[in-house]
Amino acid sequence: MTLKPLELKNEIAVVTGGANGIGKGIVKALLEQEMKVVIADIEQSVLDATVEEFSSFGEVSGFVTDVSDPSSVESLADHVFSIFGNCTLLFNNAGVGSGGGGKAWEHEPNDWKW
């Protein structure tokens, strides 16, 4: 059985923690596939710089998001769906964690707050 490559041109991707590090590399790779990318990051200045850096690569925008705050994540979703109507790929890359180990789904929402 052979897997067919995904056709991603003009599809929508959201990358949390996408303004630097691994997330920034993911953003670049998605833009090279001609995807439309929304970068979500908590740091406005770094987010703005990354959007500016990649603006010549394709359609990219930024949205300040604190993934430890459910209302901030809801605002990100509202933003993406109001502009694009859907989201094809979501990369949950932002580095938030309780630091206590264990299974993520066994933690309470307050465990994720900094």
- In a domain, residue 7? The reply is no
- In a domain, residue 1? The reply is no
Residue 16 vs residue 102, higher pLDDT: 16
- In a domain, residue 6? The reply is no
- In a domain, residue 108? The reply is yes
H-helix segments, 20-66: 21-32, 44-54
Tokens (6 digits) for 110? 């307050």
pLDDT tens readout for residues 8-59: 999 999 999 999 999 999 999 999 999 999 999 999 999 999 999 999 999 9
C-alpha to C-alpha distance for 73 and 40, rounded to whole angstroms: 9
- In a domain, residue 31? The reply is yes
C-alpha to C-alpha distance for 18 and 20, rounded to whole angstroms: 6
Tally of domains within the chain: 1
Residue 97 vs residue 22, higher pLDDT: 22
C-alpha to C-alpha distance for 79 and 67, rounded to whole angstroms: 14
Reported confidence tier of residue 100, pLDDT bands at 50, 70, 90:
low
Find the domain containing 56 and state its range.
12-112
The predicted pLDDT at position 5 comes to 80
- In a domain, residue 2? The reply is no
Query: Model's pTM, two decimal places?
Result: 0.83
CATH of residue 51: 3.40.50.720
- In a domain, residue 4? The reply is no
